[in-house]
Amino acid sequence: MSGSRLFSGGGWLFRQMCTAATKLAEAEVEHSGGKLPLYRRLSSLQMTGGTVCQTLNQYIMEGKAIRKQELQRCVRELRKFSHYQHALEVMEWMVFRRINYSYTDFAMHLDLVSLTKGVVEAENYFNDLPPRSKNKYTYGTLLHCYCRNLMADKALAHFEKMDELKYVNNLAFNNLMSMYMRLGTSNLGEVYRVWKSLKSVSPVTNLSYLTMLQSLRRLNDIEGLTQCFKEWESSCASYDLRLVNVVTSAYLSWGMCEEAELLFKNALKRRQGRGPFYKIHEMFILFFLENRKVDLAVCHLETALSKAKDDGWSPSPEVVSAFLKYYEQVNVDGVEKLRNILKTFNFDDNFLLRTCINADKTAHGLHQISLKEGSEISSQGRVDLLEEIN
């Protein structure tokens, strides 16, 4: 089809693009509950053209009222689907129409300025805000902008200002620590100073404790990690296994098997056996196989399999491969050995496990035959060998 025919007859291609845009918008509306006819129009603008201002004005001219709450929902949905510019234009239309902003509206506007125009413009917007609008929400949003863009010096200076104003909260702490982990440049003293600031002004959530533990693990602070975990464990409202996973993994990576086992035993007691504990079992399996203690690894595998029937869990490819690698090193038929274990728990027909086993067996068979032949195998040869091995 020629280019001229594509655009003849009223613009065939343009109509197709509009249709595609409409379908995309409808999919997004369905995702958001199918509740916003106005949102459907706004979300179509990226493909159909037009402006937010024109769309909103036309909507009003059709005799439809627009409530502030509806505009706020549109902004949230547009941002969720990364339509940052259009979300910002909705907020600018609200300002032009003198619709009163809430404190959180100023924070959202600031975030959208950062996403569309950059951090410098976001700083300008923040600096121009009236004093009463420079609150914990807008301060926190600007910190998030700095952290998102890995601007460590500005983020830390801004965090210190928030600390002076008593605006530090769990979200601010998590943003700062996440930035440090992404940069890989956090130092232990700084981590503890920020942690102390958070604890002095705000009840600490499980998520903040999780972030702190991850930071201490990365910094190899064994004593600090243990103390932080015990502090959380002694006062937590809900026993979050994500924190147990971090500390268990850290202990095993540092060769502290007894400490890891004691931690796991206590977690079982605190949770009254209610898991899921599969991730922890897999950590122990990999640790014991690496240290050539296969009986203990098998024990953890069997315990996990005995609990997995109702949860739909199955061992990860990493665990399956680790078993096969171990058995190969000790000259045992690992495939048969592992299949017998799985069969005991009715896992012999599991698709994922069969795929892992066959893939490992195939790779091993190809390697052995290529070594015996002393030459590369052709593409057709590989197909024939796959059939032979399977």
Which pLDDT tens digit goes with each residue over 127-138?
Answer: 999 999 999 999
H/E run at residue 37 = helix 37-43
Is pLDDT above 80 for 225? yes
Residue 244 domain-assigned (yes or no): yes
Q: What is the pTM of this model?
A: 0.77
Q: Could you tell me if residue 24 is inside a domain? A: yes
Six-digit token string for 156: 């830390």
Of 127 and 10, more confident? 127
- Token readout for 302 is 């069997």
pLDDT over threshold 50, residue 381? no
Name residues whose C-beta falls within 8 Å of residue 317's C-beta, 6 or more positions apart in sequence.
352, 356
| Rounded distance between C-alpha atoms, residue 166 and residue 123, angstroms | 20
Categorize the per-residue pLDDT at 317 as very low, low, confident or very high, splitting at 50, 70 and 90: confident
- Which 8-state DSSP code applies to residue 131? G
Q: Is residue 314 part of a domain?
A: no
Cα Rg of the chain, angstroms: 29
Report cis status (omega within 30 of 0) of the bond before 315. Answer: no
Answer whether residue 285 is part of any domain: no
Q: Is 364 a member of any domain?
A: no
Cβ(172)–Cβ(143) below 8 Å: yes
Whether residue 350 is predicted with pLDDT greater than 90 in this model: the reply is no
Give dist(CA 230, CA 342) in Å, integer.
37
Give 45's contacts (C-beta < 8 A, 6+ positions apart).
51, 52, 55, 86
| pLDDT, tens digit (0-9, with 9 covering 90-100), for 192-203 | 999 999 999 888
From 81, 107, 210, select the one nearest 91 (Cα to Cα): 107
Residue 106, SS3 per DSSP:
helix
Last residue of a domain, one of 271, 301, 336: 271
For residue 200 the two structure tokens come to 């002095």
Out of 100, 125, 158, pick the residue that ends a domain. 100
As a whole number of angstroms, the distance between CA 270 and CA 349 comes to: 34
> How many structural domains are present in the chain?
2
Q: Is residue 175 part of a domain?
A: no
Q: Out of 62-66, 281-285, 293-297, pick the least confident.
A: 62-66
Does any domain span residue 224? yes
Among 66, 100, 134, the domain-final residue is 100
377 pLDDT exceeds 50?
no
The residue with tokens 């705000």 is: 202
21 or 150, which is more confident? Answer: 150
Residue span of the structural domain in which 259 resides? 220-271
On the CB side of 261, CA atoms within 13 Å amount to: 10
95: in domain:
yes
pLDDT exceeds cutoff 90 at 284: yes
Q: Which two tokens stand for residue 98?
A: 């003198």
The reported pLDDT for the residue numbered 259 is 97
- CB 334, CB 294: distance < 8 Å: no
